[in-house]
Structure 1
Amino acid sequence: MICDGFLVKGPSGPLVVPLGSSVVLPCYVDEALPLKGLKVIWIRTDLNTLVHVYQDYESRPDAQYQDYHHRAHFFTDQIIHGNFSLRLENVRAGDKGFYRCKVYTEQETDETLVQIKEVEHLSVSGSDHLVSASVGEDVTLNCSVDSHIPPEHIQEVSWRKMDGNIMILVFEKNKILPADERYRDRVEFFTDEIPKGNFSLRLKSVRTEDKGVYICHTNAGNFSANATARLEQLGYSFLHIIVFILCIAAFVSALLLSFLWCKFHISQKTTLFLQISVVFVPNLFMFFAFWFWGVIEGFLSETVACCAHYILRPLLLLWASPHSEHFPGNRKTAMHCIVHLQYSLFTNVVYSVLFKSFWEKSLSYEQSDRVLITILFAIMILICITNIVFLLAELIRNKDGRMRAVLDLVSDIGHDVLPPLQLIFLFYAFGAARRALFVIGVFPLFLTLTRYDWKDACVEKLQCLRSVRRVAWLIFMIVVNAIMVYSYLIALKKEKDCNGWVCVAAFLQGLWGIVVLKHSFGDLDLPFRHIVHLIGSVVVVLVNSIALMTELFLKMVNGERAMKDLRKAVFSSECIFASFVLLLIIFEPYLLHVFNIFSQTQNPVSRSQQNHSFQNEAVPDETPHNPSNQNQNAAQSFELRPMLQTEEQEAGRDRDGGDAA
């Protein structure tokens, strides 16, 4: 190739380069030059230093000034096409200046000048040393943003915990966004220091799970930078020891008081005192244990749900008490009200927490949706408050009147419409609004089934046995509760604590089933109250206290929670207990019949007498002359004997107002 002349070209203007990035310094000719005798030299003119050299068909890094080693490179495969540009990596603040590109051939030479006018820098610095703290203390994780960019132009500063990639707190477009639930109300910026570029994080009430590496990530325009802080922990707080002691106290008191209650029956007053102690003392210990656990390790939903449950669960245990007929007041009214009262109070707590969770993310919702969800929540709370007022009025002053009739009506209707309203609220509040249309469609059917007079239809119109309506009601309860729990799972599946909420929902539906069953079948009672009472007041408390102690021990040893959410242990066991109670109520006649048969096997004399009297009752007087009819009727009577016998027991219990246990 013969070159009569060439013109070396560069950029159209000065370059502005982000700090730490890479930049291409343009230098090229329009037509390719012969490689023989070609030499390209890049020089930093203001410092008179050699940046890079291309000579004898290759780049010569050995000729570079030391500051540009491994940072300045030719595009060697493009030189043959006339491209002599230089790539400068990891741009530093000192790289600002003038660069000359000189191109030599055997005939001519030419050059161009490139200027790096500005190196925009975004420097983020943190702590140079480890941050140490004991559990329960407050610490500060440093993050200082040094930039020529004003703080109001900083797009985002976020704090993230590397273990689990947890977003802790975000400053975005001059707004502070909510933290992860595990750090909510425990982290904050120093807002007065933000205009100075100080984005340090204040972490309050340090927990064992807070140990680890934290990153402060800053974005400003096209620039980003990070700073790290490492939190180490020394020792454990006094609150950990308190939680452990309270769990042991609940464990020991449940065993000891139940033993004394079963063993010693000195007087009726002593027996009632021990029984009430078994109901309240272990549960109060567990309430305070979960309360302190929430302060040091738990999160809001877990703490509120578990504490509310343990302060309310004595109501269910009082209803299942063997000696409840000796309690002051009207036993029948009290026993009907206290489980319903527990359900209404616990529903208020659960949906208040769910509404708080919704409200924190409601900024992304349309205004109309926010208003609709708020109205649904207000209606549910109003229904629950009406139920609570009516039930307390029944417990304190059981008198008829116009106001009582109105409250009773509102309470009954409200209790039946509450589950569909809950589903509609969940679907709309947690991003599954389309599915709420299905709930609206089945709402009339649900209301019809719950308000249907099962006793009148089954007994008086269809002339069916009690067993039929019991089985029908059991199937109905299983289907409804399964739909409700599955709906919770669908509506809350995007929530991090979805499994915990599903366990709470399952227990809530168990309570709802007991309340509805008692309301629809007023003649039902709870058999084997001693066993039920011991399981609820002792076994369940033992299981949950062991679960909390195990979680606490593993957290102190490993620094991480094993179960992540104690609601999965607490409400799973409570759900099993509530289902057990529900099944006992439904199958009461059959269980009592089996128990009677077992008792009769221990006393053959009474068994033969009962069989003899039963045979006399079983053979009808209308058919003495027809042997075949007589045998057939006797066989039918023998098959129906257990059912008739239990129904007579139920009728007698209704007349006497006694206790089946």
Structure 2
Amino acid sequence: MDLLMFICMAAVAVISDGFTVHGPSGLVVASLGSSVVLPCYVDEPLPVKSLEVEWRRTDSETLVHLFQDGASRSEVQQQEYQDRANFFTDQIQHGNFSLRLDNLRAEDEGQYTCKVYSQQDSGETEVQIKVDNVERLLVSGSSRSISASVGEDVTLNCSVDSHITPEDIEEVSWRKTDEDVEILVLFYQNNKAFPDSSGEQYRDRVEFFTDEIPKGNFSLRLKSVRTEDKGVYMCQVFAGGLSANATVVLEQLGFSALQIMVLILSIAASGSALLLCCLIYCRSQYDSFLRLHLSLVFCPNMIMFFAFVFWGVSEGSVNESVSCSALYFLRPLLLLWAAPYINKFTGKIKTWILKYSYVAEYLVFSVVAYSALFKTAWQKLLNYAEFDRVVIIILFSIVFLCCLCKIIYLLVTEIGKKTGRIIEIFDLVSDMIIEILPTLQFIIMFYTFGSSGAGFIIVIILPVFMMMTNDTWFDRCYFRIGCSFSVISTVMIIFTLVMNAVMMGLYIMTLEKTTDPIGWACVLVFLQILWTFIKFTDTNISVFLSFSRGFHRYTLLYVCGSVCVVVLTSAALIAELILKTVNGDRTAGDLRFIVFPVECLFAVSVLMSAILPSQIKKCLKFCQDLVRSRRLRRSQEDTAETQEMKPLKTGDQEEAQPDSDTNMRSRIIPDLSPTLQYVKTQFKPHGL
């Protein structure tokens, strides 16, 4: 009854001498976060010139809003009502002094007084607001999709109702939701952001606007946008047992300046390779012959090197870009060794290419690859025991020192031309390093990324197994047992190839726990093939089993390595870049799946040419003879058909024949001069 009396009293108009101020007929009920109108009006319009309207909280006399001197005086409002309490300015001249209160808060509940002053008269009314107990959580994002170019920074909007204070917000999470598996972009909990919880592709690239969080603004800044960032993002908020979310779409990603540079370089690499190849085999001037060949070896590969560097900068895939860039920076060394014009070089340059070019590629590439692997292992060291950390660091250091030791030896002996007892010892040590380097590399891989338990038995047995590939064992069989050279060499080839196949399988099994196991497996398999190449061709290491002296360099193989490999890789890079920009996802996932298998195929082809030169020559000669015989037979058949199709001679034509016997012989024995001329033209020997 008391409450009813109070409500009725609040609804009664306060009557002044000149006008009556009216209010609501009862409680004004509204929910949190909504807008509410507090009624206050008079029957007849009042002159605006002398009008003053004042809204205050009845309990605390807090000034909510003021209309004075013909204008709203928002500067005198209390801070908590700034930008939330407003008059209907265009209605004041008609006697409507109602107040609109936006974004209703729990503390807004209570009684308000509307006082109106006009000349000598005044009046007032009271309004009571009741905030609905039913809470709601409103989260808003962007109504439109966001467009950006790769490399730019974008803002993904997410705002929470202002009546929810930051202290009431329990958790805010940004996730990418357009894939089969959601990716956590950034997480906020207990008034603190956790950037370390972000997915790997977003780490160090996302952040909140810290100064805006107290205002309920949880918008996300995404820096250096990549093509794989394209998709749908969800901002999910938990507060007071309630949850709500909003989504933002990031689409229409255009090419960045770096990606355009990658496209230009890839097209230039394949174009230069094809153009130089055409110039070499269409021109016969010797003065530009060697320069064109060197340009074919270096220019396309150096262009692809820079293309992969820019690809890594724009896409952020460090392991992929480092491995591919290092490969294309070093692959001219193997191309020079396999080039059919190697005899055009003379002196020290020819000696260095024949003896050390591929060795230098193997050593430098090993340093680069294992440096990138060490970076990957370093991220895992925090989860290892202290002893394991020390062992891993020591193993990586030993591999780096072994590679640097061999590189220093090559520099000292070939460039510095130093000799002496110490150099001979250094030579012996460097040769031993090449022998045991794959063993050390596998131990590092197994100890860092492999599993425990029975695997340690493999680590113990493997070095012994690797030492069995040393030529000393086979030399003793040849000289002491008296086995033939062909038998011993065949056994060693089979044994070494089987050992390498086992090593490659162990590499793949060991690297399963890395983030990109197949990519690293491709890199390590290529290193193992290079080591096998050194084993069979380097006379310093394998005098007994060196095939480099009898190696026949095939033009077709050289063209495939210098032109076809570059064209294929550049096409794969262009396709990957375009499809990723259009779809937002990578097609191949890792370009090492394409680059290194193709390079392994080329290296294996060169290796087989060194191991089986006579068999390959016989096979090629057989194919050439078969093609020649078929062409000759076809030419003879065409000539015979032509003679048979000639019309018979009659009348005067027969009398014009000088000798019937001669005509008879010409019909029986066809004229072979066109055939001989065709054969001479087609099988005329060509020089490089």
**Letter of the aligned partner of 1:493 in structure 2?**
E
Aligned to 2:179, which of 160, 163, 171?
163
CA distance in 1, matches of 2:248, 2:265: 35
Match of 1:528 in 2: 553
Aligned to 2:580, which of 555, 563, 570?
555
Does the 8 Å contact 1:337/1:395 carry over to 2?
Answer: no
The 1:343–1:143 alpha-carbon spacing in structure 2 relative to 1, beyond 3 Å, is farther
Normalised by the length of structure 1, the TM-score is 0.66
- State yes or no: 1:303 paired with 2:313: no
Superposed displacement of residue 137, structure 1: 1.1
Deviation readout 1:476-534 (Å, 9 max, x if unpaired): 23322222222222222233422222222221211111012224544312323323221
Match of 2:295 in 1: 277
The 1:447–1:193 alpha-carbon spacing in structure 2 relative to 1, beyond 3 Å, is farther
Aligned to 2:490, which of 455, 466, 471?
471
Show the 5 A alignment for 1:340-379: 340-379=359-398
- State yes or no: 1:543 paired with 2:543: no
Aligned to 2:500, which of 481, 491, 499?
481
Show the 5 A alignment for 1:193-232: 200-216=219-235, 228-232=247-251
CA distance in 2, matches of 1:123, 1:414: 67
CA distance in 1, matches of 2:214, 2:392: 37
Match of 1:78 in 2: none
Show the 5 A alignment for 1:67-82: none
**Letter of the aligned partner of 1:136 in structure 2?**
G
Match of 2:77 in 1: none
**Letter of the aligned partner of 1:343 in structure 2?**
Y
Superposed displacement of residue 435, structure 1: 5.6
The 1:540–1:389 alpha-carbon spacing in structure 2 relative to 1, beyond 3 Å, is same
Show the 5 A alignment for 1:253-332: 253-267=272-286, 269-297=287-315, 299-327=317-345, 329=348, 331-332=350-351
Aligned to 2:356, which of 332, 337, 347?
337
Normalised by the length of structure 2, the TM-score is 0.63
Aligned to 2:146, which of 114, 122, 131?
131
CA distance in 1, matches of 2:421, 2:138: 74
CA distance in 2, matches of 1:431, 1:226: 42
The 1:363–1:193 alpha-carbon spacing in structure 2 relative to 1, beyond 3 Å, is farther
CA distance in 1, matches of 2:173, 2:145: 21
Q: What runs of 5+ residues in structure 1 fail to find an aligned partner?
A: 1-46, 48-64, 69-91, 98-117, 605-660
Match of 1:417 in 2: 436
Superposed displacement of residue 312, structure 1: 0.9
The 1:156–1:371 alpha-carbon spacing in structure 2 relative to 1, beyond 3 Å, is farther
CA distance in 1, matches of 2:492, 2:139: 66
The 1:567–1:194 alpha-carbon spacing in structure 2 relative to 1, beyond 3 Å, is farther
**Letter of the aligned partner of 2:510 in structure 1?**
A
- State yes or no: 1:568 paired with 2:585: no
Show the 5 A alignment for 1:49-198: 127=142, 129-142=144-157, 159-160=175-176, 162-164=178-180, 165-169=182-186, 176-177=195-196, 180-183=199-202, 186-187=205-206
Match of 1:619 in 2: none
Q: Name the SS for the 2:179 alignment partner.
A: coil
Q: Name the SS for the 1:290 alignment partner.
A: helix
Aligned to 2:608, which of 583, 586, 590?
583
Q: Name the SS for the 1:329 alignment partner.
A: helix
Superposed displacement of residue 565, structure 1: 1.2
The 1:414–1:468 alpha-carbon spacing in structure 2 relative to 1, beyond 3 Å, is same
Identity of aligned residues (%): 44
Does the 8 Å contact 1:209/1:560 carry over to 2?
Answer: yes
Query: CA RMSD of the aligned region, Å?
Result: 4.2
Show the 5 A alignment for 1:601-616: none
Deviation readout 1:344-397 (Å, 9 max, x if unpaired): 111111121122122223322222222221221111112122222222334323
Does the 8 Å contact 2:195/2:204 carry over to 1?
Answer: no
Instruction: From the CA coordinates, give the structure whose radius of gyration is larger.
Output: 2
CA distance in 2, matches of 1:394, 1:219: 70
Superposed displacement of residue 550, structure 1: 1.9
CA distance in 1, matches of 2:217, 2:496: 58
The 1:331–1:351 alpha-carbon spacing in structure 2 relative to 1, beyond 3 Å, is same
Q: Name the SS for the 1:177 alignment partner.
A: helix
CA distance in 1, matches of 2:205, 2:470: 47
Aligned length: 501
Deviation readout 1:69-97 (Å, 9 max, x if unpaired): xxxxxxxxxxxxxxxxxxxxxxx996999
Superposed displacement of residue 139, structure 1: 1.7
CA distance in 1, matches of 2:249, 2:624: 69
Match of 2:522 in 1: 503
